[in-house]
């Protein structure tokens, strides 16, 4: 998605089409381009992060359906659609699982990494006593978003293995 100049866009006072709060509590506005109007894809704005991006969608309904796959998410310093954030989770899975035997590492990866975010999300379902309070307190908002996404995806999963998780997050 193409990043736009937030200050310049807000100075032109674009028309707000809708506001949206994703499943992890991040708020976004969907706005129309101030000059091109509906001939331009919908612009996603996060006022909290002072960032605006041009989406690939021309209809708001496509982005706010109940499926989590198309919801905007602020991760890694940019707004991504839900399916784009799976890439960061894939990185985290590789860091959270042992390369040797494919099992979840006994200790959390280094603080404030994608691996730590994914590990914390998984360990909450496996053994909640091992959740690292320090890791959770000092994790930046991007990693907290990843932890929340992992947690929500694992609600109904019975067997948490590396292969199962890769399949879940590839969908």
Assess whether pLDDT exceeds 80 at residue 110: yes
Q: What is the pLDDT of residues 129-138, one digit of tens each?
A: 888 888 888 8
| pLDDT computed for residue 31 by the predictor | 94
Which neighbouring-strand residues pair with 46?
51
Nearest by Cα to 143 from 102, 106, 109: 109
Q: What is the pLDDT of residues 39-62, one digit of tens each?
A: 899 999 999 889 999 988 888 877
| pLDDT computed for residue 10 by the predictor | 94
Cβ neighbours for 35, distance < 8 A, ≥ 6 positions apart: 12
Assess whether pLDDT exceeds 70 at residue 127: yes
Confidence of residue 171 (pLDDT cuts 50, 70, 90): low
Q: How many CB atoms lie within 10 A of CB 137?
A: 7
3-state secondary structure of 97: strand
| pLDDT computed for residue 23 by the predictor | 66
Confidence of residue 69 (pLDDT cuts 50, 70, 90): low
The encoded tokens of residue 41 equal: 């894809």
| Position with higher pLDDT, 91 vs 28 | 28
Q: For the residues 94-105, what does the mean pLDDT come to?
A: 85
Residue owning tokens 């978003």: 145
Specify whether the CB–CB gap between 114 and 89 falls below 8 A.
Answer: yes
- pTM (2 d.p.): 0.55
Specify whether the CB–CB gap between 71 and 23 falls below 8 A.
Answer: yes
| pLDDT computed for residue 16 by the predictor | 93
Q: How many CB atoms lie within 10 A of CB 35?
A: 9
Q: For the residues 71-94, what does the mean pLDDT come to?
A: 73
Nearest by Cα to 151 from 77, 68, 79: 68
| Position with higher pLDDT, 42 vs 169 | 42
CA dist 118 and 3 (Å) reads: 27
Specify whether the CB–CB gap between 171 and 149 falls below 8 A.
Answer: no
């Amino acid at each position: 998605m193409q990043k736009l100049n937030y200050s310049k866009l807000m100075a032109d006072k674009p028309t707000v089409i809708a506001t949206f709060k994703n499943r992890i509590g991040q708020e976004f506005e969907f706005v129309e381009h101030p000059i091109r109007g509906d001939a331009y894809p919908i612009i996603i704005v996060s006022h909290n992060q002072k960032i605006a991006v041009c989406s690939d969608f021309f209809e708001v309904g496509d982005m706010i359906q109940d499926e989590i796959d198309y919801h905007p998410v602020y991760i890694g310093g940019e707004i991504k659609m839900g399916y784009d954030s799976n890439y960061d989770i894939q990185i985290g899975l590789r860091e959270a699982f042992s390369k040797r035997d494919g099992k979840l590492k006994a200790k959390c990866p280094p603080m404030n990494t994608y691996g730590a975010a994914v590990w914390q999300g998984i360990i909450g379902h496996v053994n909640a006593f091992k959740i690292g309070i320090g890791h959770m307190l000092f994790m930046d908002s991007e990693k907290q978003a990843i932890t929340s996404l992992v947690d929500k995806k694992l609600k109904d999963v019975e067997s948490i293995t590396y292969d199962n998780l890769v399949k879940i997050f590839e969908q």
